[in-house]
Amino acid sequence: MSNLHQLKASEAREAYLLKVTRRLQTRLSPLAAYEEVGELREHLDAMAAAYEELGMAPETAMCSAIAKFGPAEKIGGELAKVGSAPQPGIAMRATLFLGLFAGQTLFAAALIAVFDTIHTATFGGAATFDVECVIGAVIALVVSTVSWNCPRLRPLTAGFLWVGVHLTVMTYIYWWMVSVGLGSHVPFLVVAHSIMIFLLGSAGSFLAGRIRILLAWKASNTSPLAR
């Protein structure tokens, strides 16, 4: 009978610790999460043993220990926040953003190239630059709508929108260049605009990264219990 009570107490403890682990797994390394949970387990066992000495049954003692320990989700969340190292994570995110924007520049160029190839194969000549841009922008906007509706691709939506908006802007710049007699400088426009997309995107993502780093530092310097 006593063994059955012990088993139920262990089950209750592990169910509680599992809830803590779920929160930890998102932010801590498996080893760090394992160590955290091991420490909590040891604390809960010591509390339960103390309650048992007061005459409680093992199961009741463990439940009382768990109740006094506090909500598992909250503790797991706080441990995950404090335990994760913000700087490498943020640096990685900033790098990813930079890569993403560089990828978008290539994506815009690829859209134009694909359309040009199709146009040449179908009509036997290259399309004018503004037509290429408009088609590219439409494709980018359609892709952004699809990505917004697909949860896994949703984080990329802003990137596709960025490409769509800039191809549209490029169309207007092209029209202006033609109207003032600079139509022969379009290749220069394409290169300059690609560089601009990359630089603006990089600067934006760098700034976003810095802001996130500052916010993470501010959060890590605040007591988790005072928040």
Which of 85/150 has CB closer to another protein? 85
Q: At what angle do helices 186-220 and 72-83 cross, to 10 degrees?
A: 120
Figure out which of the listed residues 9, 33, 40, 139 binds another protein, where binding follows CB under 8 A. 40
Q: Does 54 bind another protein (CB under 8 A)?
A: no
Q: Which amino acid is at 159?
A: G
* Closest CB to another protein among residues 117, 222: 222
* 38 is a contact residue toward another protein (CB under 8 A): yes
Name, in order, each residue with C-beta under 8 angstroms of 105's C-beta and a sequence gap of 6 or more: 194, 197, 198, 201
> Alpha-carbon torsion 106, 112, 113, 114, what sign?
positive
Closest CA to 22 of 75, 86, 67: 75
* CB half-sphere exposure, 68, CA atoms < 13 A: 14
Number of residues that bind another protein (CB under 8 A): 28
- The contact pattern for another protein, residues 57-96, with x = CB under 8 A and - = no contact, is -----------xxxxx-xx--xx-xxx-------------
Q: Which is nearer to another protein, 29 or 117 (CB)?
A: 29
| 45: Cα separation from own chain's centroid | 37
Q: Which of 43, 154, 185, 210 binds another protein (CB under 8 A)?
A: 43
Applying CB under 8 A, which residues contact another protein?
A: 35-36, 38-40, 42-43, 45-47, 68-72, 74-75, 78-79, 81-83, 220-221, 223-226
